Amino acid sequence: MTPESHFFIENVLQELDDAAEWYFDDARFTLYIKPNTTAATAAMPKVLLSIPLLNQLISIRGRRTAGQAVANTPVENVRITGFVFSQTRSTFLSAPYEVPSAGDWSVFRGGALFIESARNVSVENCIFNQTGGNAIVLSGSVTDSSVSGSEFTRLGDSAIVLLGAAVIDDGTLPTYPNRNLIENNHVYDYGVYGKQVSAFFQALSANTTVRNNVFHGGPRAHVNLNDGFSGGNLIEGNLLFGAVRETADHGPVRGNSLIVCTPLTACPHTISAFPGKYLESYAVLDAERC
């Protein structure tokens, strides 16, 4: 915990003392709102009140025959472009989180856009604004797909999550994301509710390219490779700054395994990762200098 850490006290009438706060009286079915205005006696302005009801807005899933361990009919050749995803429910402390692999992070297998068992799906030029949980989750066997040119801000949890499934580290079954591209995205001011979150997170995934993105304004590491499952990941040309704002035990990139990568830009001070070194080791140095 640091002095900059954010805390929330939810639904306490006695704490309704600041602009834009609210309290819901379940017994009376009444909503109290303190308006964001400087006039003490100003009437409540007309507003559009949105109450999120869904964890997911779009779900794309392949079909699995009964008795099969993996989907044998994946969804193929889908393009999602120009959508605005917003106002999904907060999943923090309300949805089932899992610890997917050797790393110590837990994650909710769901998001505003959920893709599972699919091939050649592209998400382009979309906006993810104020999703209560994760923005995008690629789950299971999602291959040869991409997330590009999109903006992510004010997210409850992580922006882009790649999440496979395996028995320990057995990758013989195609149950994990493979050969996917994350490119030219802008992720900022995320982790409103969850603090163990990232702009990009992957666990039990392989051969991912994370290229030419801008990540800033997060409570913990911007890039988290939760394990060394299968390998083949490439992280290059990204601009990372404003990381670890609400925690203090590592830097803008976190890797739970020995990783070989190309030089990465972090703040104005660039420190290259050398083959066979922990990414976390050099990232901490960057965070201290910035």
Q: What is the pLDDT of residue 118?
A: 96
The enclosing H or E element of 187 equals strand 186-188
Q: Answer for the pair 175, 143: CB distance below 8 angstroms, yes or no.
A: no
What's the pLDDT score for residue 82?
97
Evaluate if residue 287 carries a pLDDT over 70: no
Say if residues 147 and 185 touch (Cβ distance below 8 Å): yes
> What is the predicted pLDDT for the residue at 19?
83
Instruction: Tell me the domain boundaries of the chain.
Output: 58-289
**Residue 25 pairs with which residues in a beta bridge?**
30
d(CA 157, CA 199): 9
Greater model confidence, 34 or 188: 188
pLDDT value for 231: 84
With cut-offs at 50, 70 and 90, classify the pLDDT of residue 285. Answer: very low
Supply the pLDDT for residue 251.
82
Phi-psi region at 99: left, alpha or beta (left = phi > 0; alpha = psi -120 to 50): beta
83-122 tens-digit pLDDT: 999 999 999 888 789 998 877 789 999 999 999 999 999 9
Alpha-helix residue ranges (DSSP H) falling in the chain: 279-289
